[in-house]
Amino acid sequence: MRIIDLRSDTFTKPNDKMWKQLRSLDNSNIGDDVFGEDPTVNALEEKAAKVIGKEAALYVTSGTQGNLVSLLSHTNRGDTILVEELSHIYQNELSGATQIAGLEVKTYSSNKGVPNFEELSDLIENDKKRDSSIKVICSENTHNYHGGAIIRPNVLKDLHKFVEKYELKLHLDGARIFNAAVGLNIPVTKFSKEVDSVMFCLSKGLSCPVGSLVAGSKNFISKARKYRKMVGGGMRQAGIIASFGLVALEINWIQRLEEDHKNAKLLAKGLKNLNLPIEVNNPETNIVIISIPKEIRIGKIVRKLSDAGILAFNIDKQRIRFVTHFGIYKDDIEYALEKMEMLLPDLF
């Protein structure tokens, strides 16, 4: 059966050039990274810092680990952080910030990831009254559960000014920050220059099998390196997997994300044309989310699609997510839409 896997861009597999790069390695290209002696990891970290426009970068096992070591590096136990209510850090990272970093986590609401500055001020002023200490505000860009929405650089700039006023730090969960840059056709540094630290994933649209990077000042990265070790992220001869990232960060590979965005737009348009009682977002990047009326059982829809080879992910009881990525082509989207046209009307 033909399978169109739209569950996540984490299902991507490496491209030919990445495999070639891997095959070209020998023992001279690897070393103990915990001692800072893996030349391939070092090259990746240097390249990442350059591409993202920060002093230094650190290779970590995953986006979740990258967010955690960033928060550990910016805070002390007992501090408070502010995260957006639908953010990955809050929804999906199993309270690592609380359980491991000892932080109190408070949420702020948003319009597709864009905060309301009055609400943020109120949260901070109220917190001051009870002598607690908010130290970090986190933002997510693109915003996964807001359908890959892009938070514009001018919003990050305002947020940057805001955190400076209150002497806080701004951490960006930029798991898909290159989607944001390609989506607006601007350099990624327009986003990263506004934040104190940024995490981005190699293992999503950039198609690496594993790994993420955190980037920031040299001082921040030296702390993050220590915390990476603490949470079990010291990986020794990690150059073997880091080598994929050297290809992923080439400009033409980053630019390929545009194809995913076009496919997401095609999918959203096709879904709207089905004239079903569903809401479909206008995707700015590679994530399409449909919202289903309460009375319809979402599990049934996802199952029926999956039985026909169209794999999607139910985020919650009312929303299904489709993510376009490397390995999904225009004709896959057209095929998925044909299947949906056949199957979905009966379920509403």
Ligand X SMILES: Cc1ncc(COP(=O)(O)O)c(C=O)c1O
Q: Which residues bind ligand X (CB under 6 A)?
A: 10, 62-64, 88, 140, 144, 173, 175, 201, 203, 212
Minimum CB separation of residue 214 from ligand X in Å reads: 12
20 sits in which H/E element: helix 16-23
* Of 10 and 133, CB closest to ligand X: 10
Minimum CB separation of residue 61 from ligand X in Å reads: 8
Minimum CB separation of residue 204 from ligand X in Å reads: 7
Residue recorded with tokens 């999503």: 204
* Of 173 and 276, CB closest to ligand X: 173
Minimum CB separation of residue 271 from ligand X in Å reads: 21
Minimum CB separation of residue 52 from ligand X in Å reads: 16
* Of 31 and 147, CB closest to ligand X: 147
Residue type, 341: E
DSSP for 127-148, written as a single string: HHHTT--EEEEEEESSBGGGTS
DSSP for 232-294, written as a single string: T---SSTHHHHHHHHHHTSHHHHHTHHHHHHHHHHHHHHHHHT--S-EE---SSSEEEEE--T
Residue nearest to ligand X (CB): 63
* Of 173 and 259, CB closest to ligand X: 173
* Of 29 and 192, CB closest to ligand X: 192
* Of 44 and 124, CB closest to ligand X: 44
Angle, CA 77 vertex, CA 49 and CA 59 arms, to 5°: 20
CA distance 110 to 264: 23
221 and 58 Cβ atoms separated by less than 8 Å: yes
CA distance 109 to 174: 18
Minimum CB separation of residue 19 from ligand X in Å reads: 21
Residue closest to 124 by CA, chosen among 89, 79, 181: 79
* Of 168 and 287, CB closest to ligand X: 287
Minimum CB separation of residue 297 from ligand X in Å reads: 25
Task: Tell me the β-bridge partners of 216.
Answer: 56
